[in-house]
Amino acid sequence: CDPGVATDAFYDFIYRKSKETRLMMVMGSACGEVTKTIAEIVPYWNLLLISYAATSPALSEREKYRTFFRLALGDSALNPARRMLIKHFGWDKVAALHEDLESMSLAFNGISKDFSAHGIVIKFSTSFKDPTVELPGQLKDIKDLDARIIMVGLTETAARQVFCEAYTQGMYGSRYVWILVGGHKRQWWNDARQDGVQCSQSQLAAAVEGAFTVVDFNGLPEGSKLVGNSTSKDFLEAYFRANGSQPMSSYATSSYDTVWTIANTIRSVLIWEKNGTAPLLHQLCYEDMVAVNEMFIDTMEDLEFLGVSGPVSFKGSDREGIGIVYQIQGGNFSQVALYQPSSTSLDFQCDTCSQVLWQGGKVPRDEQVIVLRLKTVEKYVFYVSTCLCIGGVILAAIFLTYNLYHGRLKFIKLSSPKLNNVAVIGCMLVYTTVVMMGLDDAILTDDAFPVVCSGRAFLLAAGFSLAFGAMFAKTFRVHQIFTRTHHGLLIQDTQLLVIIGVLLAVDSVLVSAWVIVDPMGRQVTNITREKWLAAFYVYKGRAADFRCLHGPPPGRRRHVKIPALNDSPFFFSPGLNVYNVVIMSVSVVVISNILSSQPTLVYAMEAAFILLSTTVTLCLLFVPK
């Protein structure tokens, strides 16, 4: 495969060995570099070069190799088959890795253009010169990008190193699919200890199991009449008659069809010569062959026949041949699909095709798939909660009516009716909030969702401040009674209502700032809300902490002699209410954060705790009365 030696041999043949005989076409060769060199030279003698084995994608460049044809399928001719393979399994994202060789670079440039034109994204593409240095990092990059369909262009030596590293990094098995570019059909992984590879034969076999490769069909059509009115059986008999028991060369069928391609082309031109539409070929010199050369090219581009290597036809310089898709199954190449140039999809049902096998039992994904599932509050939970909330609102309304109706009674007056009324209104707001908490994506429109989110934040904050603030105010007044050092005026209801108003104002400022700075709405992950919730937790927590630290001493609570303050011998209702609210609030916060991925369970438990806390608060305030 030395281009210099080949060029010298060509010149020697032209100027010395063919003085009496003029060439019309040149057949050969199998080496890509030799073929490229000769293909650039022959146009100067108006000759055609027909190769039986060269597959370099560079030879598809028609402007540069204008008189070149080949019977072997070029690497670029199989790009549609590779693309169809990827599309067939629903993949549209791949990674590409190849050796830093001209033939591989050209092949992958063609693959990239073809894939891009058909909606397949190459997520990562790179090449390497020194596999021992570059491969670990490159495969890690592919793994980090979550690319699972990997196309590789490798010589056998590099293939052993790549798949050894893939085994080391765990890039094989049910999650990964490797597609080999370059006509691999030999079991190269059995030579495990060559080239300094640190993997055993079984490890390489495990890494390469399930990989695909697409190669040209070079078989013998059964039962059909072939070119020359012969059959595949006739060809085999003639071949072994001439070569004895020598194994058939992989180039035998394509070489045979190359000769027939040349013969059919010349025969067509000879017919034109006989009809007077072409010059006499034997009278022309190389300089006069321009017109005939064009006739040869036109004839060959229109040529179609069934050869021993399959159907023969050309598109530009490349043969439009059949492709075979192989999968490595159990350490062997098994044919799984057939590619016909005239078809828009692969044939996985051909007579010689085996079933595609997947190690995980199903087709792998080309990347991790994130499925967003809408989790909403179950309707029956929402309906039950709503009914309980309505019952709570009715109960609160009864207590409020009772408090207003009997407001002149001394017993009611001494129990701070105004503060009790504020607490009732706060509880009613909390009941309403529980209903609004159940209104989620399953019920609300995109426009209504932010309004409801903002509304329930305000109502819950306001309800908490009114109910908790009223109890805090009553408890604070009792605290003042027990701790004052001299007799003076008691704190009036108006002053306590101002304290509640301050709490409500702080709530309004916080919620308003939240809505303005970080408007509420649907989003996959809510990061910004954490700082606002933290602000509420700190603010409400400090208020609760203040109440717990500044309430009347525990030893005195059971000896309060004012009946309006000590509603029963066992219940110091304002104090118990505060502790009830604190415990339930902490429980709700913990549950909502731990079980945030289970909306129905979170809502059910939050609603239960809030309903229980609110109802207990109301009952402790009013049932003893």
**DSSP letter string, 280-341:** -GGG--GGG-HHHHHHHHHHHHT--EEETTEEE-EETTEE---EEEEEEETTEEEEEEEE-T
Highest mean pLDDT among 24-28, 192-196, 509-513 belongs to: 24-28
Looking up tokens 């030279």 gives 41
Distance CA 357, CA 350 (A): 16
- 477-517 pLDDT, tens per residue? 776 766 665 555 567 777 778 888 888 888 788 878 877 87
CATH number of 379-622: 1.20.1070.10
| Of the candidate ranges 166-170, 286-290, 317-321, 617-621, the one whose mean pLDDT is the lowest | 286-290
3.40.50.880, 3.40.50.2300, 3.30.70.100, 1.10.760.10: CATH of 75-218+324-339: 3.40.50.2300
Average pLDDT for residues 91-108, to the nearest whole number?
89
Cβ neighbours around 542 below 10 Å, total: 10
Task: Establish how many alpha carbons lie within 13 A of residue 7's alpha carbon, considering only the half-sphere containing its beta carbon.
Answer: 9
The mean pLDDT of the chain is 79
Quote the pLDDT of residue 568: 42
Architecture of domain 3-72+246-308 in CATH? 3-Layer(aba) Sandwich (3.40)
Rounded mean pLDDT of 133-157?
91
Chain segment 152-190, per-residue pLDDT in tens: 998 888 888 999 999 999 999 999 999 998 766 678 888
**Helix spans in 118-178 (H):** 131-144, 156-168
Q: pLDDT tens digit string along 115-136?
A: 999 999 999 999 998 888 888 9
Give the residue-averaged pLDDT of 432-437. Answer: 85
Give per-residue pLDDT as tens, 285-297.
Answer: 666 667 777 888 8
Spatial separation of the C-alpha atoms in residues 236 and 256, rounded to whole Å: 11
On the question of a common fold for 75-218+324-339 and 379-622, the answer reads: no
pTM, entire model: 0.60
Domain ranges of the chain: 3-72+246-308, 75-218+324-339, 379-622
